[in-house]
Amino acid sequence: MAGETVITVVGNLTSDPELRYTQGGLAVANFTIASTPRNFDRAANEWKDGDALFLRASVWREFAEHVAGSLTKGARVVATGRLKQRSYETKEGEKRTSFELEIDDIGPSLKYATASLTRAASSNSHGGQQPSQGGAQNGWATTAPGGAPASVSAGAGGDVWNTPGNFSDETPF
């Protein structure tokens, strides 16, 4: 990752992730994260919102399906990824530049919510082991503050961190 700009963004999804498939069959999920700084104004003795940053983001392959099935509009997330710049020309001939976050990792913020983890079924491309399944939903489910605390489920063994699974850090394209 030498020379790449890696950033972490904390914010809220502005809409549900949009899951699509390329002509080659690769899943991609696109969404926007809105990050708004909040500062305390001592003179007014109140919190004030700053200017929001709206950052387009994308995830690829099985990761995209997990995100689309787990996160929804309004969810507060913590996302880490590589900032990408894209230059293009509009139909009118105007040159434009846009920035996008290619997500390496994302999850719900637990600052104002709780979450429940369910190990996702893997595509099983590494070693023939299948993780045990617990629960009906893949990924994260969050509840609002004051809701009943969610439990962490790992299937039959009960230990989500010691359940065999599929890990790959290869580039998603």
DSSP codes joined into one string, the chain: -TT-EEEEEEEEESS--EEEE-TTS-EEEEEEEEE--EEEETTTTEEEE-PPEEEEEEEEHHHHHHHHHH--TT-EEEEEEEEEEEEEE-TTS-EEEEEEEEEEEEEE--SS-EEEEEPPPP---STT------SS--EEEEE-TTSPPPPPB-TTS--GGGS------S---
**What pLDDT, on the 0 to 100 scale, is given for residue 171?**
53
Please give the average pLDDT of every successive group of 10 residues along the chain, which has 173 residues.
86 96 94 94 92 95 94 95 93 93 94 84 49 37 43 40 48 51
**What pLDDT, on the 0 to 100 scale, is given for residue 53?**
94
**What pLDDT, on the 0 to 100 scale, is given for residue 142?**
45
